[in-house]
Amino acid sequence: MRRFDPNKLFVEYREGVTATEPIIHRRYTLTHSDETGDLFLTIGFRFARDKINPMRDEVLGEWRFTNGRCVYHVYLNVDGPANDQASIAIRNTVFRRELPLALTAIRYGDRLFFSSHPNLDHCPIVVHFQSTYPQFNTIENWGTFMDYA
């Protein structure tokens, strides 16, 4: 995993979302440039489908109430454009290696939001690795944002 560089992160807030509100229905789309290493975080009421490229290597996240508590859910398309198990296994490994960087970028990029709602640093992060292959289609606990602050 490469180190997080705040100078390589660019944040965009979409209509209706501010640096501090709302919590529920706040959705994140994190994409990147392979050429420059820049990270692009879009925060809005909807996922920024216009930012998603054919490689499908984006990180999508949202705040939801689950069983009466606030939980941050992450969605990763492990299959991407590949349809063979070997390629999907490689993508799965890359997602797992780079996810801590992505979570750090999301936490840093939305730091005013976390400052306004410090309790959210302690809410669980649930990651949905989505795949047509059962061995890669998993749901896992990845700690809390405090782990990535």
- Tens of pLDDT, residue by residue over 111-149, are 999 999 999 999 999 999 999 999 999 999 999 999 998
Average pLDDT over residues 18-41: 95
Residue 1 pLDDT level (bands cut at 50, 70, 90): low
Helices marked H in the chain: 85-109, 111-116
Amino acid at 132: T
High-pLDDT (> 90) share of the chain, % = 89
DSSP state of 33: -
CA nearest neighbour of 142 among 56, 74, 50: 74
Distance of CA 118 to the CA centre of its chain: 19
91 within some domain: yes
45 within some domain: yes
12 within some domain: no
**Residues facing residue 12 across a β-bridge:** 42
Given this model, what pLDDT does residue 80 score?
85
Average pLDDT over residues 104-112: 98
* Residue 121 lies in domain: 22-148
Average pLDDT over residues 103-112: 98
78 within some domain: yes
7 within some domain: no
Angle (nearest 5°) at CA 26 between 22 and 32: 135
104 within some domain: yes
**pLDDT of residue 59 exceeding 90:** yes
The model's pTM: 0.95
62 within some domain: yes
Average pLDDT over residues 47-68: 93
> Helix, strand, coil proportions of the chain in percent (round to 5)?
30, 30, 35
2 within some domain: no
Q: How many domains, the chain?
A: 1
